[in-house]
Amino acid sequence: MKLVLRWFLLPVLIFTSAVALAVEPDEMLPDPALEARARALSAELRCLVCQNQSIDDSNAPLARDLRILVRERIAAGDTDEEVKRFLVERYGAFVLLKPPVNTRTILLWLAPLMVFLGAALFLFRYLRSIRRVSVDTTQGLTKEEEEKLRALLAEETSQKPAEN
């Protein structure tokens, strides 16, 4: 049991320690309430280098600069919205992990839905065409095919010797 716990906890500890190292002690604000605000705000901002991480999780130098900038703005008395607005004006809406829905970002929000609907339409048409092909193959024989089949069966039965 102890061995299982060790092997389970080891990766968890390694992962959490790497994330904890992203925010360095010299970046932290002395006031715990302001630091908590800065951490919450940093979790909502995208690292412009990593792009799939928040600046709170990233070890990139630019993410460090952004964390320091966020803390400076908070220490200067800016609200969270003012800090976000400042960063959006400077870096664009891409800096937000959850950009707002507006005319500039509507395609960003609708693209996954359009891809999903396109894939569903393609799948629907594909499955419908398969069903149509399978229906076509189960239709009866034409008169010519029936005559050929009868002739072949008659020929086969006439060639078999009579069983007694």
Q: Where are the domains of the chain?
A: 2-95, 106-159
Mark the ranges of the chain whose per-residue pLDDT is less than 50: 17-21
pLDDT at residue 18 in the model = 47
- Coil, strand, or helix at residue 88? helix
pLDDT at residue 19 in the model = 46
Decide: 96 and 84 in contact? Cβ < 8 Å: yes
Q: Which pTM does this prediction carry?
A: 0.55
pLDDT at residue 8 in the model = 64
pLDDT at residue 82 in the model = 94
Q: Is 2-95 CATH 1.10.8.640?
A: yes
Both structure tokens of 13: 């500890």
